[in-house]
Structure 1
Amino acid sequence: MSPLQRAFLLEAAGRYLWWQQPEEALACPRRILAQVMNLGVWEDWCRMTALFTPEELAEVLAHAEMGQFSPRSWSFWHCRFSKEIPPMPHRIAP
């Protein structure tokens, strides 16, 4: 991770993962990116897409957990990366 990516993730963690300390949240950068992708404002999206490759952001979608994305964000980011929109992650009842 580059110093610019780290700085962005720490700043975004402070804004989008308010229940954790930014340094603690940095242990899971995909979670921070998922929060920005789901809840972020345009300026944060622009910074994120300038700092992270489409492949890195597509990996966030590929490893998404249940509840990390709204249906709207899920569709937007899959369309943005020209990917087929799969069903959203869901819990499987035993």
Structure 2
Amino acid sequence: MDSSRQSIELKRLARRYIWWETPERALESPERVIAQTMTLGTLSDLDCLVRLVTPRTLRHTLEVAMPGWFDAKAWAFWHYRLGLTDPGENPPPLPVRKTA
């Protein structure tokens, strides 16, 4: 996918899944837009996302995820889907907020 089309699609996903910020502001953290889409995305938007970014980008998004970016279901799904967790094994724990 060419970069202008990618930019248009990421902006559309940002508008839809990071509705409380402008798409431009949301895309300052593309991993957040990707994570929100991975968690809340419709089947159509998920199909778009996996065509839009590489599996490496999706894995990176899981690696840098902040607490609250994923729910348990999406976290497990994407770890299995991307081959980060073997069938029958548990995915790593969700990121948690650290308290002082």
In the superposition, the TM-score normalised over structure 1's length comes to 0.94
CA distance in 2, matches of 1:86, 1:63: 13
Give RMSD over aligned pairs.
1.2
CA distance in 2, matches of 1:89, 1:31: 14
Larger radius of gyration: 2
- Measured against aligned partners, the alpha-carbon deviations of 1:28-60 in whole angstroms (never above 9, x if no partner) come to 111100010000000000011011110011100
Aligned residues: 94
**1:89 is matched by which residue type in structure 2?**
P
Q: Point out where structure 2 has 5 or more consecutive residues left out of the alignment.
A: 86-90
In the superposition, the TM-score normalised over structure 2's length comes to 0.89
Query: Residue 35 of structure 2 aligns with which residue?
Result: 34
4+ residue stretches of structure 1 with deviation over 2 A?
Answer: none
**2:50 is matched by which residue type in structure 1?**
T
CA distance in 2, matches of 1:43, 1:89: 27
**2:19 is matched by which residue type in structure 1?**
W
Q: Point out where structure 1 has 5 or more consecutive residues left out of the alignment.
A: none
Give the secondary-structure state (helix, strand or coil) at the position aligned to 1:68: coil
How far residue 93 of structure 1 moved from its aligned partner, in angstroms, is 2.3
